[in-house]
Amino acid sequence: MSTTPEMSPLRLREVTIPNRVWMSPMAQYAAGPDGKPTDWHLVHYGARTIGGVGLIMIEANAVGPLHRTTSADLGIWNAEQAAAHRRLTTFIRARGTVAGIQLQAAGRKGSHQLPWVGAGQNGSVDVADDGWQTFGPSAVPFGDLTAPREAGRAHIDEVVEAFAHATRMAHLAGYQVVEIQAAHGYLLHEFLSPLSNHRTDEYGGSRQNRMRLALRVAGAVRAAFPPEKAVFVRITATDWVEGGLTIDDAMAFGKELAALGIDLLDVTSGLVVRDQAARPPTRAGVHVDFAATLKDATGLAVATVGQIDNLTVAGELIADGWTDAVMIGRPLLRDPYFALRERPADKAAWPHQYQRAL
Ligand SMILES: Cc1cc2nc3c(=O)[nH]c(=O)nc-3n(C[C@H](O)[C@H](O)[C@H](O)COP(=O)(O)O)c2cc1C
């Protein structure tokens, strides 16, 4: 049995994650119109489960039909969807891997085309073409997408309830971890950032007001999930753009999340406005410093994501206390067995069925 730092278990509440190399949530745009997982999802996530990651974070799942980014998003807003998700959680958990699911409201990035159709997020789908009305903190569009409507009080309350209900469905589906998407320019991030939130009521203006919706959601999700299961928040460390969120804002937000009983911050950045400068720069381990800062400031466990493709380095980062885990994205799209291949000496980590190949 390997004892390298990245392969050591991490316990959060009653959830023991067998190692610290985790699959980052990555939308597949492969759901049916009913938002249920398809055979694609079972094969895709099944292969990465066999590939030895400690936790699979199933891609962004909409918390309601109007909260989808595209018509092919996964959903977790009703019991039929939860039942369909059981196929995934059953397979993942049977191998000892932890099953997590990301919960998302798309906000002003909703109702767009699939990324490989037309111009992707450049292309809104109109209501007349089976799209749907989007809502944001303010009636300000993301790039060329159709402008959202400013969310009213009733809509804000509905968002909180939708996240809580989706959390109950995620529990029914057998997930052990839920992750609240509060980054990458989707609804909760849009409320957090002054670049997209121009409100003058109690949900806009001061940092405390801009945090209000995300904190209400975090409190509601935590309360809706059994105490033995873990809640993560995907948090933006910086908007990278003048006038946007900074690491100070992230630290203040993280401290409030800690007080609400959130278990782990999954640290990323950027993408709240359509501007090349608002994308994370190309740099290995681009969010590692931010993760360490947030770990120190909040006392919470952290994961870092972005441009990590060397598990020996990841192990050193974990051993030196920069991060508790790494989320791996694109390397796992290129190679489902990335986590196994990076440690070829550890034959026992491979499934018995494959060991004659080693
Ligand atoms: C195809 C694709 C889909 C993605 N979908 C999501 C998503 O559903 N939720 C999310 O938080 N991030 C999403 N991301 C971002 C990844 O989770 C990750 O943060 C990013 O790819 C950087 O990590 P990497 O350098 O290891 O790929 C997606 C990325 C890709 C490439």
Pick out the chain residues at pLDDT < 70: 1-2, 119-122, 344
Judge whether 186 counts as a catalytic residue. yes
Query: Does residue 60 have its Cβ closer than 6 Å to ligand 1?
Result: yes
118 CB-near residues (< 8 Å, 6+ apart): none
- Tell me how far CA of residue 42 lies from CA of 35, 47, 90, 302, 312, in angstroms: 14, 8, 10, 28, 29
Contact indicator for 199, 218 with CB cutoff of 8 Å: no
Query: What atom of ligand 1 comes closest to residue 330's alpha carbon?
Result: 27
pLDDT at position 268 is: 98
Taking the centre of ligand 1 as the mean of its atom positions, its distance from the CA of residue 24, in whole angstroms, is 6
- Give the start-to-end residue ranges of the domains of the chain: 5-357
Q: Tell me if 12 CB under 6 Å of ligand 1.
A: no
Which pLDDT does position 118 carry in this prediction? 76
Q: What is the pLDDT of residues 120-171, one digit of tens each?
A: 666 899 999 999 999 999 999 999 999 999 999 999 999 999 999 999 999 9
pLDDT of 152: 98
Distance, CA 142 to ligand 1 centroid (Å)?
19
Confidence at residue 120, expressed as pLDDT on a 0 to 100 scale: 64
* 3-class secondary structure, 93: helix
Considering the four listed CATH numbers 3.20.20.70, 3.30.565.10, 2.60.40.1930, 3.10.20.30, the one that applies to the domain covering 5-357 is 3.20.20.70
The pLDDT value given to residue 33: 81
What is residue 119's predicted lDDT score, i.e. its pLDDT? Answer: 66
pLDDT at 89: 98
pTM summary value: 0.98
Please tell me if the CB atom of residue 328 comes closer than 6 angstroms to any atom of ligand 1.
Answer: yes
pLDDT for res 344: 63
The pLDDT assigned to 349 comes to 85
H/E element, 154: helix 153-173
Strands 98-104 and 135-136, by their bridges, are unpaired
For position 348, what pLDDT does the model report? Answer: 84
